[in-house]
Amino acid sequence: MGMLLLVLLLGLLIFHLGLCVWAIFKHFLTTDIPSAMQHQVKMRVLHCIMLYVISLGNILEKMRICSFPRFVRFTQAIIFTKKKDPKVVVTDLHFGTIPVRLFQPKTVSCSPRRGIIFYHGGGGMLGGLDCYHNVCAFLARETDSVLLCVGYRKLPDYHYPIVTSDCLNASIHFLKRLNTYDVDHSRVVLCGDSIGGVVVAQVTQALVGQEDLAQIRAQVMIYPIIQGINFQLPSSQQKKSVPFFTWDLLLMFVCRYMAIDLYWRDAMLKGTFIPPETWMKYKKWLSADNIPENFKNKYQEPQFPGPFNEAELEAGQSPHTVEAS
């Protein structure tokens, strides 16, 4: 029995060691770190760790031991630790089924404070109230604002458009009760990073014209995903292999959140699923025509979109392409 246990432990050690070596090789073979970037060694180490965690998560999912999103969130929970800020009062609430966390400065204010509604990043898969706790406490303290962080539902149980709908519903609930939280109706802003930045724009548009709610005064979007149609723009080509948000990782997040099989990755990159009439309608916003030439000379601009393939459009929309989670 002892010998069997020793063999199993040795096998696990060799497995993890091999996975670490594979992650290191993949990093150096597939990633490109700009020479001007600071802390390159630290970035390389962190990216290797990220590749290792992603690979292990995919293996565990294929073995039906644990879903990839839950494993990565478990890893995040180990890495990120909440810190208690003595200058901020933190309250966990639920707006219906949506968990939220309220951050309020302890100092007494003679007038209602600014309000910030924060949507965290993570591609609809990662992040959470605990991961962003320290950031939100810092923002509330340094801006002397009441901050609401929305803990929207995520993969693998919830797909598009749950992030937007949860954030919109939580925001409306908060905006209707600003007096309860001593928030100035004329000073409410939306803030978010990554997919949270996308949600900032979506929620702002949805709330425009709703006269029964306080109007949003500003949008703070931190590295938002501006568009997910044309992946052949010069900036996309330039940064496609730069960690941490490489093309591979971006498309994995998009496909999982949209419940699209990763098999359609090339069709998404080349835009062959876009009907010609649709592209003509949106070309002026999504093509490289308006980008100055000095930003494009370094890269050979490919044809976009590629030849339209109706089968790819229909397959990407049909239920049988939904990826099991």
Same-domain pairing of 205 and 99:
yes
- The pLDDT assigned to 5 comes to 87
Number of Cβ within a 10 Å radius of residue 118:
25
- The pLDDT assigned to 320 comes to 40
- The domain of 171 spans 88-222
- The three-state secondary structure class of 188 is strand
Q: Is residue 294 part of a domain?
A: yes
Same-domain pairing of 194 and 255:
no
Q: Is residue 74 part of a domain?
A: no
Render pLDDT for 258-305 as a digit per residue (tens, 0 to 9). Answer: 998 888 888 888 899 899 999 999 888 888 887 877 776 666 666 788
- The pLDDT assigned to 159 comes to 94
Biggest CA pair distance of the chain: 73
Same-domain pairing of 269 and 216:
no
| Counted domains in the chain | 3
Half-sphere exposure of residue 150, counting CA atoms within 13 Å on the CB side? 37
Domain stop point among 155, 190, 222? 222
For the entire predicted model, the pTM comes to 0.90
